Amino acid sequence: MIYVILICSLTVVLATLALLAWYVVPLLNRSAQVKNIQGICRREGLIVLTYDDGPSEKLTRRLLKELDELDTKVTFFVTGVSAGTRPDEVRALKERGHEVGCHSERHVNALKSLPWKAGRDCSRGMKTLERLGIRPKFYRPPYGNATLGTILASRAHNSRVVWWTHDSGDTGGVPGKANSLLTAITSRLGGGRRRAQEGDESGLLEQRLHPDARAEFLAELDRDGGVVLFHDSDRGHDALDEYTIRVTREIVERARESGKTITTMEHVMSLTS
Ligand SMILES: [Zn+2]
């Protein structure tokens, strides 16, 4: 009888540890990476502009035109579904010299789905991009949420999971530094940063009500550099698209004044140990 109790207890302990590792390892990884890349960007004077969720029907072409005018190369994290729908746009990103990373197939939230789904979504996104002739070196998890399965799936495709140091606020949130480990956990449990939904103007209103946060965000980039999160998706708000374009231009122009270099994710990650 004592052996049965021991085996049951051991099984429960091991299962709990495995579950913890499944969700906690990516959080620790994220926290360490954000600190590491922020340090590199500060030391080397670097800024990386990244655009998730595309390619989109309207914004991608506008962004490409704007980035051409600014003579700036950035990093796009595209989803398999969007890339499969708009392969010409994906090819245009590559032809213009931008870096293309993977952002899953169907944008599955790792913390709101069954434990194995996020890793599978990562693999499917990678395979879709590989069919389009792209072998992404980097994977950005949807909503910044990942499991150990996500990391393993990404590595199986010779790709590294990467996060960001600053949120541009182009989905209606407050622009600024990425969440710390503690706030990341609490905000993920609470559903994460609220995004502006179609027909929801309060996100825009919130943005307009936070000029100080935006000024502080831009000043931080002038001073410390960093990896900035934007979105290249059809959000149903022309004003949000305008915001993405305008803040992109502002960051590039200010970087030139402050002596910062706009570079790609690959460059920054090549400097990590
Ligand atoms: Zn996304």
The residues, any chain, with a CB within 8 Å of residue 177's CB and separated by 6 or more, are 165, 166, 167, 217, 220
Q: What is the pLDDT of residue 172?
A: 80
What is the CA(71)–ligand 1 centre distance, in A?
25
What is the CA(101)–ligand 1 centre distance, in A?
12
What is the CA(229)–ligand 1 centre distance, in A?
10
What is the CA(150)–ligand 1 centre distance, in A?
15
- Return the H-helix or E-strand segment holding 140: none
What is the CA(77)–ligand 1 centre distance, in A?
8
What is the CA(45)–ligand 1 centre distance, in A?
26
Distance (Å, rounded) from C-alpha 156 to C-alpha 136?
A: 12
What is the CA(52)–ligand 1 centre distance, in A?
5
What is the CA(103)–ligand 1 centre distance, in A?
7
What is the CA(195)–ligand 1 centre distance, in A?
11
- Return the H-helix or E-strand segment holding 230: strand 226-231
Provide the pLDDT confidence category of residue 181 given band limits of 50, 70 and 90. Answer: low
pLDDT tens-digit profile of 39-64? 999 999 999 999 999 999 999 999 99
Q: Which one is predicted more confidently, 143 or 187? A: 143
What is the CA(222)–ligand 1 centre distance, in A?
25
Burial of 259 (0-12, 13-18, 19+ CB in 10 A): exposed
- CA 214 from chain centre, in angstroms, equals 19
Q: What is the pLDDT of residue 199?
A: 44
What is the CA(166)–ligand 1 centre distance, in A?
15
User: What are the tokens at 215?
Assistant: 């000024």
Burial of 92 (0-12, 13-18, 19+ CB in 10 A): middle
What is the CA(95)–ligand 1 centre distance, in A?
23
Distance (Å, rounded) from C-alpha 261 to C-alpha 48?
A: 8
What is the CA(257)–ligand 1 centre distance, in A?
31
Please check the confidence at residue 174 and state whether its pLDDT lies above 80: yes
Mean pLDDT for the stretch of residues 222-251: 92
Mean pLDDT for the stretch of residues 155-163: 97
Q: What is the pLDDT of residue 237?
A: 78
What is the CA(259)–ligand 1 centre distance, in A?
30
Distance (Å, rounded) from C-alpha 189 to C-alpha 192?
A: 7
pLDDT tens-digit profile of 63-81? 999 999 999 999 999 999 9
Of the listed ranges 127-141, 156-170, 190-204, the least confidently predicted one is 190-204
What is the CA(244)–ligand 1 centre distance, in A?
15
What is the CA(194)–ligand 1 centre distance, in A?
13
Whether the CB-CB separation of 227 and 268 falls below 8 Å is answered with yes
User: What topology is assigned to 46-192+201-270 in CATH?
Assistant: TIM Barrel (3.20.20)
75 forms bridges with which residues in the sheet?
50, 99
What is the CA(252)–ligand 1 centre distance, in A?
23
The residues, any chain, with a CB within 8 Å of residue 141's CB and separated by 6 or more, are 26, 104, 110, 118, 122, 150, 161, 163
What is the CA(107)–ligand 1 centre distance, in A?
6
What is the CA(270)–ligand 1 centre distance, in A?
24
Please check the confidence at residue 206 and state whether its pLDDT lies above 60: no
Q: What is the pLDDT of residue 239?
A: 83
Domain borders along the chain are 46-192+201-270
The residues, any chain, with a CB within 8 Å of residue 63's CB and separated by 6 or more, are 51, 232, 244, 245, 248
What is the CA(19)–ligand 1 centre distance, in A?
25
